[in-house]
Amino acid sequence: MKRNILVFDTTLRDGEQVPGAKLNIQQKVEIAQQLKRLQVDIIEAGFPASSAGDFQAVQEIARTVGDTVSVTALARAVKSDIDAVYESVRPAQNPLIHIVLGTSNIHVEKKFNRSKDAVLQMGVDAVRYAKTLLPHVQYSTEDASRSEFEYLWSTIEAVVKAGATMINIPDTVGYAVPEEFGDLIRRINERLKNLDDRVILSVHCHNDLGLAVANTLSAVKNGAEKVECTINGLGERAGNASLEEVVMGLQVRENYYNSHTGINTKELLRTSRLVSHLTGLDVQVNKAITGENAFAHSSGIHQDGLLKDKQVYEIMAPEEVGADSMELILTARSGRHAFRNAVEKMGFEAGDPADFEQLFEKFLTLADAKKEVYDHDVFYLVTQHRTIKAEEKHLYELASFQVVSNDLHPTATVSLRKGAETITGSAVGDGPIDALYSVIRTLVGLDVELKAYKINSLSRGKEAIGRVNIRIEYEGKVYSGRAMDTDIIKASANAFLNGINAVLLDTAKAAAV
Ligand code: KIV
Ligand code: ZN
User: Which atom number of ligand 1 is nearest to the Cα of residue 144?
Assistant: 3
pTM for the whole structure: 0.80
The residue whose CB lies within 8 Å of the most ligand 1 atoms, and thus the one to mutate among 14, 146, 215, is: 14
pLDDT at 384: 76
pLDDT at 436: 97
The answer to whether the CB of 204 is under 6 A from ligand 1 is yes
Which of 208-217, 330-339, 382-391, 394-403 has maximum average pLDDT?
208-217
The DSSP result for 447-502, as a single string, is --EEEEEEEEEESSSTTPEEEEEEEEEETTEEEEEEEEESSHHHHHHHHHHHHHHH
Question: Domain spans of the chain?
Answer: 3-279, 296-388, 396-506
d(CA 179, CA 214): 9
User: What confidence tens digit (pLDDT) does each residue in 182-197 have?
Assistant: 999 999 999 999 999 9
d(CA 76, CA 58): 16
pLDDT > 80? residue 26: yes
Evaluate whether 440 touches 496 at the Cβ level (below 8 Å). Answer: yes
The 3-class SS string of 262-297 reads CCCHHHHHHHHHHHHHHHCCCCCCCCCCCCCCCCCC
pLDDT at 327: 53
pLDDT > 60? residue 176: yes
Instruction: Give the pLDDT band of residue 37 (cuts 50, 70, 90).
Output: very high
pLDDT at 160: 98
The answer to whether the CB of 170 is under 6 A from ligand 1 is yes
The 3-class SS string of 62-121 reads HHHHCCCCEEEEEEECCHHHHHHHHHHHCCCCCEEEEEEEECCHHHHHHHHCCCHHHHHH
The residue whose CB lies within 8 Å of the most ligand 1 atoms, and thus the one to mutate among 142, 159, 169, 240, is: 142
Q: What is the greatest pairwise CA distance in the chain?
A: 78
Instruction: Give the pLDDT band of residue 453 (cuts 50, 70, 90).
Output: very high
Instruction: Give the pLDDT band of residue 212 (cuts 50, 70, 90).
Output: very high
d(CA 72, CA 62): 8
Ligand 1 centroid to residue 15 C-alpha, Å:
11
Ligand nearest to the CA of 170: 1
Instruction: Give the pLDDT band of residue 385 (cuts 50, 70, 90).
Output: confident
What percent of the chain shows pLDDT beyond 90?
66
What one-letter code names the amino acid at 414? V
Instruction: Give the pLDDT band of residue 44 (cuts 50, 70, 90).
Output: very high
Q: What is the CATH number of domain 3-279?
A: 3.20.20.70
Question: How many Å separate Cα 126 from the centre of its chain?
Answer: 28
User: What confidence tens digit (pLDDT) does each residue in 406-441 have?
Assistant: 888 999 999 999 888 899 999 999 999 999 999 999
User: What confidence tens digit (pLDDT) does each residue in 94-114 have?
Assistant: 999 999 999 999 999 988 889
Ligand 2 centroid to residue 142 C-alpha, Å:
9
Calculate mean pLDDT across residues 491-509.
Answer: 85
User: What confidence tens digit (pLDDT) does each residue in 60-84 have?
Assistant: 999 999 999 999 999 999 999 999 9
CA-nearest of 95, 91, 131, 100 to 14 is 100
User: Which atom number of ligand 1 is nearest to the Cα of residue 228?
Assistant: 7
User: SS3 of 388, please?
Assistant: helix
Ligand 2 centroid to residue 317 C-alpha, Å:
31
Q: Whose CA is nearest to atom 4 of ligand 1?
A: 172
Check if CATH label 3.40.50.1950 holds for domain 396-506: no
